């Protein structure tokens, strides 16, 4: 992605009142994107996703990532992040993986892929594991955000439904800001109930 496009996305994101943006390490030039966003838009909380190994973690931290998201439970990555005070959100699917990640010190556990499980799964897992913070990701969109929050999720992670590729392709950053603002307002309205 061209730097000017990335910055336009970041500015629209920030202008809409959103603050936490993840760049996946399997994106082309991910480290450069993280560094650029951190330097150019210091009000954003920029993290690295798809961190699977200690090597990935080193690259992410060197780039300036403020938090780490993993698609898996890697205890070495989790423990290192905890030791150095970097928020860590490992990905888990089963109650055992969720508990293992949380027990290792995860800031919250990313439940992935959420669309395969639905909001009922979050509610069911939280019944016995109600002290664990869960963040469903993978297929979460505007139509499912509230159902996950109602089920007890501490937040949600959005990917392709958040970053509207058609608006970006058309360079419609005002439209992208409106899209982001609609999501922000949806969540804010729910939280004010």
| CATH assignment at residue 22 | 3.20.20.70
Q: What would the pLDDT profile of 164-179 be if each residue is shown by its tens digit?
A: 999 999 999 999 999 9
β 109-111/20-24 pair status:
unpaired
User: How would residue 160 be classed by pLDDT, with cut points 50, 70 and 90?
Assistant: confident
For the entire predicted model, the pTM comes to: 0.94
- Does position 18 have pLDDT exceeding 90, yes or no? yes
User: CB burial class (10 A; 0-12, 13-18, 19+) of residue 80?
Assistant: middle
* Tokens coding 177: 């800001």
pLDDT of 86 over the 90 cut: yes
Q: How many domains does the chain have?
A: 1
Give the torsion through C-alpha atoms of 126, 150, 122, 125, to 10 deg.
Answer: 20
- Going by pLDDT thresholds of 50, 70 and 90, the confidence category of residue 6 is very high
Provide the domain limits for residue 20. Answer: 3-191
Mutual orientation of helices 3-15 and 173-191 as an angle, nearest 10°? 30
- Span 60-76, pLDDT tens digits: 999 999 999 999 999 99
Quick one: pLDDT at residue 64?
A: 98
């Amino acid at each position: 992605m061209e730097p000017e496009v990335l910055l336009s996305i970041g500015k629209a994101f920030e202008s809409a009142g959103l603050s936490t943006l993840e760049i996946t390490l399997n994106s082309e030039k991910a480290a450069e994107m993280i560094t650029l966003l951190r330097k150019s838009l210091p009000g954003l909380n920029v993290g690295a996703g798809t961190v699977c190994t200690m090597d990935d973690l080193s690259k992410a931290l060197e780039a300036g990532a403020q938090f780490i998201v993993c698609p898996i439970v890697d205890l070495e990555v989790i423990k290192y992040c905890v030791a150095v005070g970097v928020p860590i959100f490992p990905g888990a699917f089963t109650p055992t993986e969720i508990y293992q990640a949380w027990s290792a010190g995860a800031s919250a556990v990313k439940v992935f892929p959420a669309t395969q499980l639905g909001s009922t799964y979050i509610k069911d897992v939280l019944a016995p594991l109600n002290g664990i913070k869960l963040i469903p990701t993978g297929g979460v969109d505007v139509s499912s955000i509230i159902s996950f929050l109602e089920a007890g999720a501490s937040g949600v992670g959005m990917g392709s439904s958040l970053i509207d590729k058609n608006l970006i392709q058309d360079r419609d950053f005002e439209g992208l800001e409106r899209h982001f603002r609609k999501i922000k307002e949806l969540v804010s309205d729910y939280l004010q109930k």
